[in-house]
Amino acid sequence: MNKPTLQDRAVLKGHGFTRAEEQPESYRASAPEANAGPEPSSTSPQPSAAVRRMKEYHPPLGDRSGLRLDFNENTFACSPRVLDALGRISGGDLTRYPEREPVERSVARHLGLDPAQVLLTNGVDEAIHVLCQTYLDAGTELLLPVPTYTMYEVYASGTPARVVRVPAENGFRFPLGALLNAIAPATRLIAIANPNSPTGQTLAREDLLRVIDAAPHAAVLVDEAYFHFFGETMVDLIGRLPNVIVARTFSKAYGLAGLRLGVLCAPEEQMHWMRRAISPYSVNSVALACLTAALEDEEYLLWYTGEVLAARGDFESALDRLRLPYWPSQANFVLVNIGSRHREFVHSMRTRNVLVRDRSADPGCDGCVRITIGTREQTQQGIAALAESLAEIGWSAAQSGVEA
């Protein structure tokens, strides 16, 4: 199958995708709008302007029993060594405030960095919050290709900075030219998820380097949350280029989303400011005790990522057979284009005990649903449910206007 042709057809058939060049200025957001919320009464405590401005974000976490292909988590389990480490934690251990530094040294060694270049965080979400606090002031801008990970904008909306959104090109290709054009003296932070969510698309190292080079006055975050399913990294540039920052998470391949563990890697000079912005105890001692065990179990990580990569191939082949348009992914999820029946599809999957995530509200993603890839066995279950759900909602390639 010719995948790009399929994607391009999806675009041409009017699934709501926009070309950056068709909207030359519209992505330059105006000053942040107040996000109304309830009107505070004059006699009760008043929320700050920053909090009133913040975008609300409530992930659909209720009742997640079944096969969870909705949040891009590890769908199986963490390493058994992590469970052993948990079992060794004593009551006395929990009485002490957590100490990040010894574990940061292990993580730094693992990444080939200096400990001064590594900061453990309460998930990458906290890392994003810290970056927004560290770099975004009034009169500055966060530059984002969209669609992308929601939390960049959520945390930026709690600062007085503007958010400048650059829409992806056809087929969700990275809008490199438009993003380079959008770099301004006010640009203080650029966030690029590589691979990106929800699209699974990637940006080549030389293109990332063009962005980094064009914005020496901005911190460029390369969010490598899905690194283990892709394999390319910019970590080797930490400290060699003064504005490169890399984030990694333990929520995906390592299966530790519940423990909340992320890592920020940055030049020491920048890290100085981030250490000032972060809460000193935001990574708890249980998570810290488990992290070293997780890092040591290479074998488990290789097994799980091997399962996902094989399953991703199986899943994409099944989509080809079903003639369901999708964007080939380098992450542990695939974005599929269901079209106008996306809600019925998500509901039908749920009745089969398979949870998937409707991404229709993301910019340019009308009709799109994101499906996490788990082990091969789980993916077969997902494929069976998908085929049944498509049949139940009466989806057909011809009817949807998308030909394979």
Ligand X SMILES: Cc1ncc(COP(=O)(O)O)c(C=O)c1O
> What residues line the site for ligand X (CB under 6 A)?
72, 123-125, 149, 193, 197, 223, 225, 249, 251, 257, 262
Find the shortest distance in angstroms from Cβ 196 to ligand X: 7
Show Cβ contacts of residue 18 under 8 Å, excluding neighbours closer than 6 positions: 167, 363, 364
Specify which residues 118 forms β-bridges with.
265
Whether residue 373 contacts residue 315, with contact meaning beta carbons closer than 8 Å, is answered with yes
Whether residue 79 contacts residue 294, with contact meaning beta carbons closer than 8 Å, is answered with yes
Comparing CB distances to ligand X, the nearer of 132 and 193 is: 193
Find the shortest distance in angstroms from Cβ 25 to ligand X: 27
Find the shortest distance in angstroms from Cβ 331 to ligand X: 8
Find the shortest distance in angstroms from Cβ 251 to ligand X: 3
SS3 9: helix
Q: Which residue is nearest to ligand X (CB)?
A: 123
Question: DSSP letters along 280-332, please?
Answer: TT-S-HHHHHHHHHHHH-HHHHHHHHHHHHHHHHHHHHHHHHHT--EE--SSS
Find the shortest distance in angstroms from Cβ 117 to ligand X: 19
Comparing CB distances to ligand X, the nearer of 57 and 403 is: 57
Distances (CA, A) of 218 to 98, 143, 145, 185: 32, 10, 15, 9
Six token digits for residue 314: 């199986």
DSSP-derived pairing of the beta strands 118-121 and 141-146: unpaired
Comparing CB distances to ligand X, the nearer of 6 and 266 is: 266
Six token digits for residue 26: 């519209």
Question: DSSP letters along 13-67, please?
Answer: TTSS---GGGSTTTTB--SPPP---SPPPTTSPPPPHHHHHSPP-----S---SE
Q: How far apart are CA 136 and CA 134, in angstroms?
A: 6
Comparing CB distances to ligand X, the nearer of 72 and 157 is: 72
Comparing CB distances to ligand X, the nearer of 211 and 393 is: 211
Find the shortest distance in angstroms from Cβ 372 to ligand X: 10
Find the shortest distance in angstroms from Cβ 402 to ligand X: 26
Find the shortest distance in angstroms from Cβ 150 to ligand X: 9
Find the shortest distance in angstroms from Cβ 197 to ligand X: 4
* CB-neighbour burial class of residue 207 (10 A; exposed 0-12, middle 13-18, buried 19+): middle
User: Which of 145, 253, 237, 133 has its CA nearest to residue 193?
Assistant: 145
Comparing CB distances to ligand X, the nearer of 54 and 402 is: 54
Comparing CB distances to ligand X, the nearer of 157 and 348 is: 157
User: Which of 150, 221, 202, 223 has its CA nearest to residue 165?
Assistant: 150
Comparing CB distances to ligand X, the nearer of 187 and 196 is: 196
Comparing CB distances to ligand X, the nearer of 256 and 319 is: 256
- The residue behind tokens 């096969």 is 67
